[in-house]
Structure 1
């Protein structure tokens, strides 16, 4: 019985952990693309706001919201 509970707990935690780890890699991709970007100033401001929002959401535990904001920034950057 204890083994089944432990297995169920491990399986329920793993996807959340894997999902949470994608946020830093998306932030790193954005950070790497920013210096070479030729976006208009308004778009660059939007990307930086989304990047900051994504980091804040990640830190607060909202990984779905973080990934959504970060992916929107990636889309604007064209990466």
Structure 2
């Protein structure tokens, strides 16, 4: 019984942890691509705002919201 409960907890935690760890990876991709991105200055400003919003949401534990903001930023700079 304890083994089944432990397995269930493990299977619930592992995907959440993997999901949470993708936010920093996306932020790093944005940080690497932004300096050489050939987009309008207004779009660069928007990308920076979305990246900051994603970081804030990640820190607050809202990883779905964080990924949504970060992926929107990625699409704006073409990565």
Instruction: Sort the TM-score into its range (normalised by shorter chain).
Output: over 0.9
Match runs of 1:20-59 below 5 Å = 20-59=20-59
**Match of residue 4 from structure 1:** 4
Q: In the comparison of the two structures, how many residue pairs are matched?
A: 79
Question: Could you list the runs of 5+ residues in structure 2 that have no partner in the other structure?
Answer: none
Provide the rounded CA distance (Å) in 2 between the counterparts of 1:34 and 1:72. Answer: 13
Deviations 1:35-71 (A, max 9, x none): 1112111101100000000000000000000000000
Question: Could you list the runs of 5+ residues in structure 1 that have no partner in the other structure?
Answer: none
Aligned-residue Cα RMSD (Å) equals: 0.6
Decide which structure has greater helix share.
Answer: 2
Provide the rounded CA distance (Å) in 1 between the counterparts of 2:37 and 2:27. Answer: 15
